Amino acid sequence: MENTIKLIAPAKVNLFLAVGEKTGDYHPVINVMHTLVLHDVLYMTYSPAHKTKISIDMLQGEDPDISIPDVKLEDNLVYKAINSIAKVSHKNFDIKVILEKNIPHQAGLGGGSSDAAAALIGAAKIFNYDEDKLFGFAANLGSDVPFFLNGGCALYKGRGEVFNHKIQPINRDIVLVKPQGENGLSTKSVYKTFDDMNIASSLDSPFTYDEKDHKTSLSAISKELTIADNIPLFNNLAPASEKLMPELAEIKEFMAGKVGEDKVLLCGSGAATFAYDDDAEKYKSQGWWACETSLANVKIRPREV
């Protein structure tokens, strides 16, 4: 007998992303993320089997300008998420996933990470695995994946996977804008450029990293960020992203001219930028991809269909 569960995988924006100098294998961050109404949809159809089998069919959503990422099954984060739970379970299922993509990839909106978190939650439901034990699996899949297990708004530290505290979320209209086409920015290339430009030590910032004790500096600034509506928009990855994709600087300048510089911010490492606004048409008229959505307190929950 087949059963199907549906999961909503929300996009996110970073309200505050401060990246420090690389220490060892990673850059320490202060990262405040907030979920959006914009979302992908996962349908997970499953039935008992002698051996677990996972298939994924990715479909284009309502927006014809959102392309489907070309990724091998074994490299797909949704596959990795489900497989990680299957490996620790004594049960076997034939699992068929239909993934409807509405979130553009390589845009800094966390689409892949959110899909992975939704797949973990769905797999926990299918295999009857304790959802409270998913954090370790999430952290292994990617820095942003743990955030999506709880959603809403929260501050994370470490390399972005260490939960610090919840932040009071808000409901507020935003517009997302990015260059038209499939071109995006890889996080790896942005961070390399960030290091090459020596941004962590040269850019004016609302806080200063202590080279001898990162934890003290992180703790001090963390306590000040408690309500999403009061967080100053900040992202010191932006100069590196703009160097790799100069059109991002044009988009930021245009959006700032419409709503004010303090209401515009690059999403993560890009290539999308968001503004506190409710009209996407003026950005579409410039030839850019644009989408109206809103900040919202969204949490992934499996639902039988």
Query: CA–CA distance from 84 to each of 57, 137, 141 (Å)?
Result: 19, 7, 10
> Alpha-carbon Rg of the chain, whole angstroms?
19
**Is there a catalytic annotation at residue 51?**
no
* Active-site option among 144, 157, 252, 277: 144
Three-state helix/strand/coil letters over 46-93: EEECCCCEEEEEEEECCCCCCCCCCCCHHHCHHHHHHHHHHHCCCCCE
Query: Phi/psi zone of residue 270: left (φ > 0), alpha (ψ -120 to 50 degrees), beta?
Result: left
**Is there a catalytic annotation at residue 63?**
no
Sequence-ordered alpha helix ranges (H) in 128-246: 135-141, 145-150, 187-196, 199-202, 214-222, 238-244
* Active-site option among 12, 125, 157, 178: 12
CB of 102 within 8 A of CB of 36? no
Sequence-ordered alpha helix ranges (H) in 183-288: 187-196, 199-202, 214-222, 238-244, 247-259, 281-284
The catalytic site residues sit at 12, 144
